[in-house]
Structure 1
């Protein structure tokens, strides 16, 4: 496995494969659905990589993990970013790839926003601990954050203040 790097449009096929794998395995962990994203053309994934900072963990021709940074266009919201889409394939877990991806997003966000937000499944204690170790603090719980079929899933809302004076 190579080091963590920012993904480019040439990585669209690998990103699409990883993203769809995550959406299929863990529909309760993402706001997006496999059904919606599987219909998107490869160019759509390439455009996502072009407009958002998405970091990946390469392995051969594919990816074993990725995480992205979303920054709003609205002037009133530009003070905060969102860590989104964090996923590591099951066979690559336990190798600190998730930690490295989180660090890459934090590094990218540090000079651009004051706060970095995320939401994580309330039952995903492993991910919550990883985010807390990176400095994120929980600030709320959204009980019906996602609905998959007839099942609701709660999410923990977390924040990392990147403004050293705040």
Structure 2
């Protein structure tokens, strides 16, 4: 059996600078893929990112030959009684040079594994033009349940999103 060429880890406050750097890279390269904006998050220091990692669940992945993160994915679980049965996979991003190596699949699998005893289903929103990401989510069992036209507006242009979910408990 061959060793996995990457490591998936839960990020903590000590990873704030690396998380910030990779998140900003994603926001800069693919603004249509995120609800957050590069401009807003670039104003925040690495220290400002620490609470997100301390109170939330964010996973990172790195190739074993590197010390920097190659990918990230978060899990948000609402605290309200009526919605805490649904988790949200958010902020999924893999560096372009690390794509097609199985890192995205490993990140999504880790979020699903972590979610299994915490929520009944996972939801996500993905850019309607991002067929690669939609195919990744479909391969692990996510199904489309909605379509939001004009979900994001960036520099006067609208972007649609596909809403997907994975039912964990039937």
Indicate whether 1:133 and 2:139 are aligned. Answer: yes
Indicate whether 1:3 and 2:7 are aligned. Answer: yes
Q: What is the CA-CA distance between 1:44 and the residue it aligns to?
A: 1.8
* Structure 2 residue corresponding to 1:156, chosen from 139, 157, 162: 162
Partner Cα separation in structure 2 for residue 55 and residue 65 of structure 1: 8
- Which ranges of 4 or more aligned residues in structure 1 deviate by more than 3 Å? none
Whether the 8 Å contact between 2:6 and 2:103 is mirrored in structure 1 is no
- Map Cα deviations across residues 53-105 of structure 1 (whole Å, 9 max, x no partner): 10001243311100000011111110000000000000000001000000011
Gaps of 5+ in 2: none
Match of 1:34 in 2: 38
TM-score (norm 1): 0.96
Partner Cα separation in structure 2 for residue 76 and residue 53 of structure 1: 20
SS across alignment from 2:41: helix
SS across alignment from 1:69: strand
TM-score (norm 2): 0.94
SS across alignment from 1:126: helix
User: Within 5 Å, which residues of 2 pair with 1:44-59?
Assistant: 44-59=48-63
Partner Cα separation in structure 1 for residue 56 and residue 68 of structure 2: 19
Q: How many residues align?
A: 164
Gaps of 5+ in 1: none
Indicate whether 1:109 and 2:115 are aligned. Answer: yes
SS across alignment from 1:135: coil
CA RMSD of aligned residues (A): 0.9
Whether the 8 Å contact between 1:18 and 1:63 is mirrored in structure 2 is yes
Match of 1:13 in 2: 17
Match of 2:128 in 1: 122
Partner Cα separation in structure 2 for residue 121 and residue 105 of structure 1: 19
Q: What is the CA-CA distance between 1:2 and the residue it aligns to?
A: 3.6
Whether the 8 Å contact between 1:14 and 1:61 is mirrored in structure 2 is no
- Map Cα deviations across residues 22-62 of structure 1 (whole Å, 9 max, x no partner): 00000000000000000112122111111111000124331
